[in-house]
Amino acid sequence: MSRVIKAEDIRLQSDPPETPQPRRPAPQRQAILDAAQIIKAARERARALLESAQARAVAIVAEAADKAAEKEETAFRQGYQRGLAEGKKQFLAQIEGQLEKLEMILQEAVSVRQAAMELAEEDLIKLSLLIAEKIVRKEIQLDAEVTKRVLAEAISYLGGATKIFVRVNRQDLPTLAEGEEEIRRLFLEAKTITFVEDESIQPGGCIIETDLGRIDARLETRLDLMKKELLEVMEGD
């Protein structure tokens, strides 16, 4: 008997569904991916090596620096002892040189000071003598009796003289002539007294010549004596 196939009885038969499989890249793409992985790994390795090399380099430099510093310190310590004596010698030599310079400066200062003192002393003496001379000359101008007093003072050193020559400036002759009698009384033992004009003698002074000796009572001579006395006083101080 024939079988009647109804529509609802008809089922479409098809191939069973396939299980999904992972998609595989093409050969070229796989090669590229593989190369990329290799390159990436190489870069990472290179980076690691570089960092390691840098670290090592830093360590080497630091070690070298430490060794250099150590050597330098060692050399310094070794040289310090050697250099200490040499440095001390050089220092003492420099100090000695400075002391010599200082001594020279001090000696020069002392010399300058001494010269200044001597110059000041000489100037002081000159000034004193100048003042004394002005005073004496002023006195001579105001007092014509100065020569008589000088003569009287000199007579005290001429006791026993019998012949007397008095050399004076022309300006003093009138005064001495007027006081001749008084002067003769001063020379009690003198038999002769002669007044002689001498222009080389300044007014107020005289030179007395006798048979017993000679007395220089000129103004300049008296000033020289004053100078010597002044020097003695200053040297005594």
For the chain, the domains span: 145-236
The 10s digit of each residue's pLDDT in 47-95 is: 555 555 555 555 555 555 555 556 555 655 655 556 556 665 665 666 6
Spell out the long-range contacts of 185-193 with Cβ–Cβ below 8 A and sequence spacing 24 or more. 186/151, 186/152, 186/155, 187/155, 187/158, 187/161, 189/159, 189/160, 189/161, 189/162, 190/161, 190/162, 190/163, 190/164, 191/162, 191/163, 192/162, 192/163, 192/164, 193/164, 193/166
CATH for 145-236, options being 1.10.10.10, 3.30.2320.30, 3.40.50.300, 3.40.50.620: 3.30.2320.30
Question: Which DSSP state fits 66?
Answer: H
- In the structure, what pLDDT confidence band is assigned to residue 20 with cuts at 50, 70 and 90? very low
pLDDT at 159 over 60: yes
